[in-house]
Amino acid sequence: MTIEAQATTPNSAPKTFVRDLQDKQTFNACFLAKDKTMLTGKNGKQYISVYLADSSGQVDARIWDNVDIIAEAFQSGDVVRVKGQVQIFQSRKQVVVHKLERALPEEYQMKDLVSAARRSADEMMAELLLLVQDFEDPSIRQLVSDCLNDSEIRPKLLRAPAAKSIHHAYSGGLLEHVLSICGLMKSLHAHYRLQDVNMKLDYLLFGAIFHDIGKIWELDPEGGITYTDKGKLLGHMIMAVELVEKKASRIFGFPEETKDHLKHIILSHHGRLDYGSPKVPQFLEAFLVAAIDDLDSKINTISMFIKSEREAGGDKWSRFNQLFERYFLLQV
């Protein structure tokens, strides 16, 4: 659905990047839509707040007209073609959207729209495989190794995002998220061991690697980050549990109790029932996996938000962040 009943022809003009947008500039270009939010203004009328993103950054955008129609035209994670104008509002760039519609595949190249992890995916995978060699439990070590070296899983994992739009939502984002949590788990395990808190490091590292592994099937990074049919029907936790069952069944003598523990770590990693976990964490390792997953995702989300605010010309304070319901200090 579009706000103008006319066909869109592929744009042969060079891509207009976020970093190049200037005050009062009008443009017609494709972007990745992120963090779409319906809000109500002081006059009581609804408007849409959305970030327009590409590989160079992101810019805050507002949709004031035809809100009901445009709200149905796209979702966060869609690639959209936007006609709009840049303005300076509260010392930072903002886009007023005049027209928005889903972009056609021939109108854009994903490499122009999606940022990537700071490190190469191959480098991160090599580090992860090296870490797996340190697992003490041979059954868990083989399970993890078999999955990471699987001919279907490995190529998907190399380019998978960790989420649709909120955190690590870029190529290689899932691997970056996994390695970040692994590093935290090793440090926390050593820290708490000095306080006589005994936890299984293998369980913590397994949780870091497997808690979101189902997202390689839940999310499709092609044409914007979208949910697959399987992802909508099953979800990444169920698919990860199925993976554990499938791979563990091929490992002779894999302990049934260990398998149940690993599945529980996956099924409880959102921490609370109202956050989508079918189970709450019921042992210490599962609790820590859920807590550190939440922490790492929030650190990434906040740091990306602050970075974009600084690049947009923000002064001392950010705009109000709807997700975290606060302003952020940009100069510390």
Closest by CA position to 70, among listed 12, 3, 144: 3
Domain ranges of the chain: 18-111, 116-305
pLDDT of residue 11: 46
Burial class, 146, CB count within 10 angstroms (exposed 0-12 / middle 13-18 / buried 19+): middle
Q: How far is CA 178 from CA 164, 182, 189, in A?
A: 16, 6, 16
Domain 18-111 fold: OB fold (Dihydrolipoamide Acetyltransferase, E2P) (2.40.50)
Helix orientation angle between 284-311 and 173-193, rounded to the nearest 10 degrees: 130
Radius of gyration of the chain (CA): 22
Q: How far is CA 62 from CA 39, 91, 160, 164, in A?
A: 10, 16, 29, 21
pLDDT of residue 124: 93
Distance separating alpha carbons of residues 33 and 50, to the nearest angstrom? 7
Question: What are the residues facing 205 on neighbouring strands?
Answer: none
CATH number of 116-305: 1.10.3210
Q: Is the dihedral of CA 24, 29, 33, 34 positive or negative?
A: negative
Report yes or no: 289 and 265 within 8 Å, Cβ to Cβ. yes
Distance separating alpha carbons of residues 58 and 50, to the nearest angstrom? 10
pLDDT of residue 304: 83
Helix (H, G, I), strand (E, B) or coil at 227: strand
Distance separating alpha carbons of residues 268 and 290, to the nearest angstrom? 7
How many residues does this entry show for the chain?
332
Helix (H, G, I), strand (E, B) or coil at 34: strand
pLDDT tens for the chain, 332 residues long, are 344 333 333 445 678 899 889 999 999 999 989 888 898 888 889 999 998 988 888 888 999 998 989 999 898 878 899 999 999 887 788 999 999 999 998 888 887 887 777 788 899 999 999 999 989 999 999 999 999 999 999 999 988 876 766 667 677 889 999 999 999 999 999 999 999 999 999 999 999 999 999 999 988 877 667 788 998 999 999 999 999 999 999 999 999 999 999 999 999 999 889 888 899 999 999 999 999 999 999 998 898 888 878 877 667 888 888 888 899 999 87
CA 254-257-259 angle, 5° bins: 55
0.75 exceeded by the pTM?
Answer: yes
The token pair that represents 3 in the structure block: 């706000």
- Which residues touch 55 (CB under 8 Å, ≥6 apart)? 17, 111, 112, 113, 114, 115, 116
**Residue 170: how many CB atoms within 10 A of its CB?**
22
Helix (H, G, I), strand (E, B) or coil at 246: helix
Closest by CA position to 173, among listed 205, 202, 212: 212
